[in-house]
Each structure stands twice: as C-alpha cells, then as structure tokens.
Structure 1
Amino acid sequence: MQFITHLPGSSALVLDSPHSGTAYPPDFLPACEMQTLRQAEDTHVEKLYDFAPGLGVHWIEAHFPRSYLDVNRNTTEIDVTLFDAPWPGPVETDSKILSKVRLGKGLIWRTTDDGVPIYGRKLAVAEVQARIERCWTPYHAAVAQAIDAACQQHGYSIHINCHSMPAIASSQSTDFPGEKHADFVVGDRDGSTANKALSRLVCQHLGELGYTVSYNHPYKGVELVRRHSDPAQHRHSIQLEINRKLYMDEATLEITPGFEALKAHLRSLVSLLLKTDPRLL
C-alpha cells in the first residue's frame, strides 16, 4: 500500500495532514471494532485542503491511520507495556510528554480516545520497528524536505500542520475531558514554533470569518511543529485544529452541508498565507 503522499510545491507554504489516513494495513490486527477505531481519524481533512497543491502549496498526507502509528509523536514516546519483549530504543522520560503515553496515546496507541483497548495481544518489537520504518521515517523526511525546499526558494517557510478535533473532548483525548472545543485551535507551543504575529494573523483571519478561535488551548502543537520549526531561522510551524462539527457528522463520519463553506474559508486563509512574509510582521 502507499503509506504517504508528498506533492512538492513552488510556494513558501507547506501543509501536512498526518491523521486523516483511512487505509488500515493488514498487519494492524486490532481487537476493537472498526467503527470505534475510526473515531480516532481526522476524517476528510485531506478533502478540506485538496485545492492547496493547485495553488503551489507543498502537500504531505498520511494514508495510514493514526491509531496504527502516530507520526505526531516522537519515536521515544513508547508505551513499553505493549510489547512482548523489551523495547531496544530510547524511551521518553519527560513527565509532561509521558502524560499522553499514560493516556494510551503514544507513538503506538494502546486505547481509543474513550479508553477502549485497541489490541487483544502483545505487539512484537519487530512489527513496531517496521511501522516506524514504513510510516514515521518517510513522513518526517517528506515534511523536512518540503520545508527545506520552501526556505531555499523563498528564504522562509510557513508550515501548517492540519488536524481536526471532536466537538467535545473525549474522556482520554486531552487533559481536559468533556471540554467543549472552539471552532478552531491555533497552536504554536506558546510562541516557540512560529512568530506570534503570524499566529495572531491566523487567529484574526478566522475570527473575522465568524469562527470562535482558541490559541494554544487545549492543543499547543506536538512533534511535527516542534521538530520542523525554527522561527529564528524563519521556519514557522503552526498546528491548526478544526472542530469536526463544522463539516461532518461525528457518529457516521459523513460530510455535512457546512463542508463547502468551511473549505472556501480555508482557501481564503491559505491565500492570505501565500501573500504573507513572516519576516515583515
């Protein structure tokens, strides 16, 4: 199967969708029901941005599901209780990062957002190493390549890490279970992954379109924006979360009538970013 799509662009803008994959590899072998597992997907996010490559935007997309391997986690964010043998690689020790692992949301998910166990078996170390080789390594390489190309051509890059979120936080999805989410969450890890003026511009534009916007709460951005950003070197990364209620039925995963209006607004945001040089903000 094809694990990722990488469409090189000509602009300074890079978009990636790490969690919208719906192609479940045959070696996954989950024990929970597929409908339960699919609630983890950022379903249809890739469709919301399918206009972007035609505008010269660099595009990277994962086809495998995040519950199989989450490329927005570091390879050290390992839940060692999943394996049938000791994990041979480094394991994260930072307690803040490990909070997600304890929730079952590390590199390899142990449970769904509602706490349902995903596996009825122990995983072999070799199969997880194979997932990293097939999925994590090429995905991050593609994002890095796109950002490098944008910077070499334009002197800067703007990277938008594209996600969706449930309308209400599940019991084990964040540190704020039951919280009603805004329409958008803009995250730059408290200004460490992007020029704050750029993040404010994104928030302002979405707010002027009539959306409620939260900044760095409850999602600040995780591994993809952390790893691939360097604002001091004009490499800016923002994690953008969209409330699923705006475009889909969360129970059936069907697209709703709000999809096209939202897509048009995202196109206006992309058009704005294509004209924005963060060095001038």
Structure 2
Amino acid sequence: MQLLTHLPGSTPLVLDSPHSGTAYPENFRHACELAVLRSAEDTHVEKLYDFAPAMGVHWIEAHFPRSYLDANRNTTEMDVSMLDAPWPEPVETDPKIMSKVRLGKGLIWRTTDEGVPLYDRKLQVAEVQMRIARCWTPYHAAVAEAIDAAFRQHGYSIHINCHSMPAVASASATDFPGEEHADFVVGDRDGTTAAKPLSELVCSHLRERGYSVAYNHPYKGVELVRRHSSPDEHRHSIQLEINRKLYMDEATLEMTPGSEVLKATLRSLVEVLLKTDPRTL
C-alpha cells in the first residue's frame, strides 16, 4: 500500500495534506464503523489542490487516514492509557500541548470528534511504533525535503499545511464545541511559524474574494507548521483550514458544485503566493 505521495516542485511554495488519506490499513483493527471513522478525514482536500503540481508547487499527501496516525501531532503526544504496556519513548507533559490528547486526538486517536471510541482493545506498543516508522517518519521527511529544496533554490520557502474543518465544531474536536466556523481559518501559531505580513496577505486575499476568515482561532496550527518553520530564516509555514460546507456534503461526503468555485479561489491564492517574496513584505 502506498502511504504517501511526494511530488517535487520547482517553486518556493510547498503544500501538504496530512489528513485527507482514505487508505485504511488492514492492521488498523478499529472497532467503530468505517462510516463513523471517515468523519475524521479532511475528505477531498487533495482534490481541491490538484492543480498545484502543474504550477511547480511541491506537493505531499498522506494516503493513510488521520485516525490511524495523525501526522500533525508530535510522537510525544501519546495517550499511554491506550497501550498494553509502558511506552518506552518520551511523552509530552505540557498541559496546553496535551489538551488534544485529553480530547482523544493525540498521535493515535482514542475517539472520533463525536466521542465514539475507535478501539475495543489495548494497542500493542510494537504496532504503534510500526505506525510511526511507516507513516509519521516518512511523511515528515518528505515535508522537510520539499521545504529544504524550495529554500535552497530560492532563498526562502512558503509552506501551506492544507486542512478542512466541519461547519460546526463537534463535541470532542476542539476546546470550543458547537462553534460555527468561518469559511477559512489561517493559523501561524500566533505569528511564530510565519511572518505576520505573509499571514495577513493570505487573510486579506481570501476576504477580498468574499469569504469570512478567522486568524489563529480556533486553529492555530500544530506540529507540521511548528516543526518545519523558521520565519527568521525565511522558512514560513501557515496552516489553512477550509470549511467543508464550501465544497462538500458533510453527511454523504460528496463534493458539491461549490468545490469548483473554491478551487478557483485556491488557485488564485497559489498564484499570489508564487508572486510573493516574504523577505520584501
């Protein structure tokens, strides 16, 4: 089973989609129904950006599902209560970082966004280590390789971490259950993963296209933008969340005609970013 796609590009722009995977491994052995589990996916996000590689944009896409292993979490964000034996690796202790783990959304998910348990068993330490080795490690290596290549060629890089979000926050998804989401959420971990003028440019462009845009709420960006950014060194990472109501039916997972309008907007954003040198902002 192919677990990720990495298409090298020639521009300073890197896009990655860590949560749109739909290839469910046989060794997952989840207890809940697949239809319930699929609500965890950023379904179709890879289709929304399918124009990007032809524009010279670096593209990385996970095929493994987010609920099997969440590549946007650090390997230390482990819920050790899920395991059949002591975890031999470091475990995060910062309460803020571990808030998602408490919600059941660590590196290995315990529950769905609605609180449905994924497993009726304890996970073996060895199988979690295998997931990290086969999924997390190569995915982060591919993102790092793409950003390094963009930086070497252009002297700077712009990394957009591509996600989608439900129209309304689920009960166990965030610290703000029931919140109605904006059309887009732009996150840079409070200005620590990208230069603020670059983030403001993204926000302004989307607002000019008629969309509602929130900045760093309720999603600030997590491990992929944290790990692979260094704005002072001209390596910028932004997490971009898209409201699913703009492009799909959340009940059936079918794409809607709105997806084409959205794709045109995303293409226009990519075109703007390809013309932007953050060093001049």
**Is the structural similarity TM-score above 0.5?**
yes
Amino acid at match of 1:199: S
- For 1:262 and 1:50, how far apart are their aligned partners in 2? 12
Establish whether residue 183 from structure 1 lines up as the match of residue 183 from structure 2.
yes
Amino acid at match of 1:110: R
How far has the Cα of 1:184 moved from its partner?
0.1
Partner SS state of residue 189, structure 1 = coil
- For 1:232 and 1:276, how far apart are their aligned partners in 2? 17
Structure 1 match to 2:88: 88
How far has the Cα of 1:193 moved from its partner?
0.2
Deviations 1:221-244 (A, max 9, x none): 000000000000000000000000
* TM norm structure 2: 1.00
How far has the Cα of 1:65 moved from its partner?
0.4
Structure 2 match to 1:43: 43
Structure 1 match to 2:218: 218
Structure 1 match to 2:75: 75
Structure 2 match to 1:22: 22
Amino acid at match of 2:120: G
Partner SS state of residue 207, structure 1 = helix
Q: What is the number of equivalent residue pairs in this alignment?
A: 281
How far has the Cα of 1:32 moved from its partner?
0.4
Deviations 1:51-76 (A, max 9, x none): 00000000000000000000000000
Structure 2 match to 1:198: 198
- For 1:225 and 1:215, how far apart are their aligned partners in 2? 15
Q: Can you give the 5+ residue segments of structure 1 that lack an aligned partner in the other structure?
A: none
Deviations 1:172-204 (A, max 9, x none): 100000000000000000000000000000000
* TM norm structure 1: 1.00
Structure 2 match to 1:116: 116
- For 1:31 and 1:134, how far apart are their aligned partners in 2? 22
Amino acid at match of 1:72: N
| CA-based RMSD | 0.3
- For 1:259 and 1:106, how far apart are their aligned partners in 2? 30
- Runs of 4+ in structure 1 off by over 3 angstroms are none
Amino acid at match of 1:168: V
- For 2:99 and 2:189, how far apart are their aligned partners in 1? 16
Amino acid at match of 1:35: A
Deviations 1:201-256 (A, max 9, x none): 00000000000000000000000000000000000000000000000000100001
Structure 1 match to 2:168: 168
- For 2:200 and 2:160, how far apart are their aligned partners in 1? 14
- For 1:99 and 1:260, how far apart are their aligned partners in 2? 36
- For 1:52 and 1:26, how far apart are their aligned partners in 2? 31
Amino acid at match of 2:207: G
- For 2:76 and 2:39, how far apart are their aligned partners in 1? 25
Partner SS state of residue 46, structure 1 = helix
Amino acid at match of 2:118: I
Deviations 1:76-133 (A, max 9, x none): 0000011111100000000001111010000000000000000011100000000000
